[in-house]
Structure formats: C-alpha cells, structure tokens
Amino acid sequence: MTTGTGSSAELDPARLRIALGRLSRRLKPTAAAGSLTTTEVDVLVAAEREGPVRLSDLAARVGLNPTMLSRLVPKLEQAGLVRRLPDESDRRVTFLQASPKGARLLGRVRSERNDALSRRLAELDPGEREALAAALPVIEQLAERLRPGHAAEAARKSP
C-alpha cells in the first residue's frame, strides 16, 4: 500500500477513503431535505432500509449513541416522517420505521442527489465514465466487506 506516491496503478487507501468521503458529503445536502440535518436524514434512511428496527440497533447502524438518537426521533415523529412501534412481547422495546411521508421525502432526496451526480458524470469524458463503471462492482464489494459483522459472517461460511 502506498501513501500517495508511486505509480498511478498503486492503490492508496487514504486517497480512496478521502475521495469517497468527499463525494458522499457533497451529495448529502439537498433542498428536498428542508430543515433536516444530514444526521436526521441518515436516521430516516436507516429506518426506511432496516425498519421496523429496534432503536438500539438503529443507533448502532447510524453510528449514534442511543441518547442522541432519542433526541432526534421526536423531531422526525413530529414531522410525520417516522413511526414508533411497540414490541408486543416486550413493552420496553420500541421499533422505528419510516412513514409513507418519510419514504416520499427520501425518494425526493435520492432523486435530487442522483440528478446532481448525473450532471457531473455527464461532464466526464467517455474513458473516465468507463473507468468508473468498471470500478463500481469492486467498490460495491469493498463496501460490503467493510460492513460491520461481515468478517464474522464470512468466517462462519468458510469451511
């Protein structure tokens, strides 16, 4: 592994991480999200993707401590973007899921982000677009391998 020097064929993990982080951060702000913070949008995304999901599991998935999540959820509830659901077998447990209104908002956010990225991709030359298309499956696989719990799952599956 290199730290930024060497041939262009060498892969620099820091440079890749920084580039992906910049790309992600620059796509996050959207007009569709209105007054929601990026963290609130992240919670809504996770509630939609994983929901109904236990609040403790949701906190871990979005990288928040449960206290911080408990401060964000009421705002999302008041806006009608999420719903809390009790666990019928254990009343101490609460699940969260995106409401239909929350799902519609996320659709608009995703559309806005996709449109912004599409405009910039169109500015690339054909060779650059081809290189990105070729790298996409590898980036997707790498993202999956970085998912928490992936190593333990892979170890259980191997003979």
Q: So what's the pLDDT on residue 123?
A: 97
The arithmetic mean of pLDDT across residues 59-87, rounded, is: 92
Predicted structure pTM score: 0.77
Secondary structure (3-state) at 97: strand
Secondary structure (3-state) at 88: coil
Q: So what's the pLDDT on residue 1?
A: 44
Q: Which residue from 150, 139, 149, 141 is spatially nearest to 23, judged by alpha carbons?
A: 139
Q: 108 is written with which tokens? A: 């608009």
pLDDT digits (tens, 9 = 90+) for 21-70: 999 889 888 899 999 999 999 999 999 999 899 998 999 888 899 899 99
Q: 98 is written with which tokens? A: 């995106």
**Termini Cα distance of the chain:** 29
| Structural fold of domain 29-122 | Arc Repressor Mutant, subunit A (1.10.10)
pLDDT digits (tens, 9 = 90+) for 88-135: 888 888 899 999 999 999 999 999 999 999 999 999 999 999 999 999
Region of residue 36 (left: phi > 0; alpha: psi -120 to 50; beta: else): beta
Per-domain residue ranges for the chain? Answer: 29-122, 125-153
